[in-house]
Structure 1
Amino acid sequence: MPLTRRDALGLTTTFAATALAGTLIRMPRAAAAAKIEAVVFDAFPIFDPRPIFAGLDKIVPGRGKTLGDLWRTRQFEYTWLRTAAGEYEDFWKITRDALTYAAEALKIDLSAEQADAVMDAYLHLKAWPDARPALDALRQSGLRLGFLSNFTPAMLEAAIESAGLQGYFDQVLSTDLIGTFKPDPNAYRMPTDAFDLPVAKILFVPFAGWDAAGAKWFGYETFWVNRLGTPPEALGVHADGSGRNLDDLAAYLRARA
């Protein structure tokens, strides 16, 4: 449930709160002193993943959502397990392994050709409708833009090309380059090195609540693009701002300028 203005006033930290289209923008006053020079995105605030999972229902009518939910859960559990164990495999393989597990667990006979077709959707992602106008506005304001994603470099490059977003991003960073996954602090350190900026001058924009928590633990000011409307993870940290789309991100940046 989104926080209300009354909720914001009850927080022990002092916040500047602005309600925009049902979105609470929360900004610690201390953070406003640091000028943001770069905005770094996870992949899915920009790329719309819904067609990946919608395609499952064409393969297994009536069971696509169940398969997709288990697949997505295992996908990220495998990244965390492999990171914790030091047994790295790239995100493409982990995603395929998670799909195999989910199909077998649900006793769904998924052929290799069907699995290939499902995986291929990752290489043909399109941007959310609000992405290009928001990116145009951010670039025109002088901000440098980047990605920090668990996607492999090939997955990121394919998605950028498919979405027609070539040239928008100053840095396209895959955690595969250092053999780990978010929320490993070494992954979150990549943008500070690539942009040669202190953490206080970078705003991180995640899609998932766990990624918002990981970014906050590392020290980033964080705006969570919560397109699915899920509650924040109960991990003791919260994003500095949140909204349902990139218009809300732009409003947040205007409010803190």
Structure 2
Amino acid sequence: MTGRPDAVVFDVVETLFGLQPVADTLTGFALDESTLPMSFTRMLRDAFALGCTGGYRPFAEVFDASLMVVAPALDDAQRRTVLSAFGSLTVHPDVRPAFERLRSARIRIATLTNGSATNTERLLERHGLAELVEMTISVDEVKVWKPRPEPYRHALVRLGLPADRVAMVAVHAWDVHGARAAGLLTGWASRLERVHAAVFDPPDVQGADLVEVIDALLAR
């Protein structure tokens, strides 16, 4: 594809919103700082394994199961408190300017999350971003996690656009790889992983943050 996309779809957790409130909740229960990255990585691994074998469980259920293994000292009520912290995620400072650049260019904005659409909508509203986003899309609608192709294809259906007119933007190389395999234009921001894993297809554009990625997409 050449030229600007007609729509940009953003990943949500870690791309738009940071996990510090979840980390703070875990350390508040006297758990080590490594608990969150270990739990989150295990959650992704288990969800991907389910997807490879035809299974599916929603975000909250898979993360809760991960906590049971990584932090067995937490009781049911404490794990519910940790899960509730996902409703208080902080917004990254590059999100609003990236969204506003797209709005000024009359390019549609959507989100595609492995979490729930309801939580995404609440976070967007909480941080004053809801009016900039046309639609929130969740893997719950297709019952399989990214980076399987079904969620990206479902986003195209929701948007009513072909793959070559839509860009997927994320801070996770695996997410960008999945979108590219599904035929979408892709943008990767390096502020989380720093180095793009060599085993994945490279993104069409990349930058240090979302603003640089969007500027690169607009310059096509």
- If the length of structure 1 is used for normalisation, what is the TM-score? 0.79
Correspondence 1:73 to 2:41: yes
Q: Which runs of 5+ in 2 are unaligned?
A: none
C-alpha spacing 1:34/1:136, structure 2 compared with 1 (3 Å):
closer
- Between the aligned residues of both structures, percent identity stands at 27
SS in 2 for 1:223: strand
Contact residue 205 and residue 217 of structure 2 kept, 8 A? no
Contact residue 190 and residue 196 of structure 2 kept, 8 A? no
TM superposition shift of 1:135: 0.9
Provide the residue aligned with 1:56 in structure 2.
Answer: 26
Correspondence 1:114 to 2:82: no
Moved over 3 A (4+): none
Provide the residue aligned with 1:87 in structure 2.
Answer: 55
Correspondence 1:176 to 2:145: no
Contact residue 160 and residue 166 of structure 1 kept, 8 A? yes
Alignment of 1:1-257 (within 5 A): 31=1, 33-43=2-12, 44-60=14-30, 63=32, 65-104=33-72, 109-256=73-220
Contact residue 173 and residue 191 of structure 1 kept, 8 A? yes
C-alpha distance in structure 1 between counterparts of 2:30 and 2:143, whole Å: 34
C-alpha distance in structure 2 between counterparts of 1:128 and 1:232, whole Å: 20
C-alpha distance in structure 2 between counterparts of 1:153 and 1:252, whole Å: 28
SS in 2 for 1:181: coil
* AA of the residue aligned to 1:233: A
C-alpha distance in structure 1 between counterparts of 2:110 and 2:21, whole Å: 24
Contact residue 126 and residue 162 of structure 1 kept, 8 A? no
C-alpha spacing 1:178/1:243, structure 2 compared with 1 (3 Å):
same
C-alpha distance in structure 2 between counterparts of 1:253 and 1:240, whole Å: 9
C-alpha distance in structure 1 between counterparts of 2:214 and 2:185, whole Å: 14
TM superposition shift of 1:236: 4.4
Residues paired across the two proteins, number: 219
SS in 2 for 1:191: helix
TM superposition shift of 1:251: 2.1
SS in 2 for 1:164: coil
SS in 2 for 1:235: coil
C-alpha spacing 1:84/1:229, structure 2 compared with 1 (3 Å):
closer
Provide the residue aligned with 1:8 in structure 2.
Answer: none
* AA of the residue aligned to 1:91: F
C-alpha distance in structure 1 between counterparts of 2:135 and 2:104, whole Å: 17
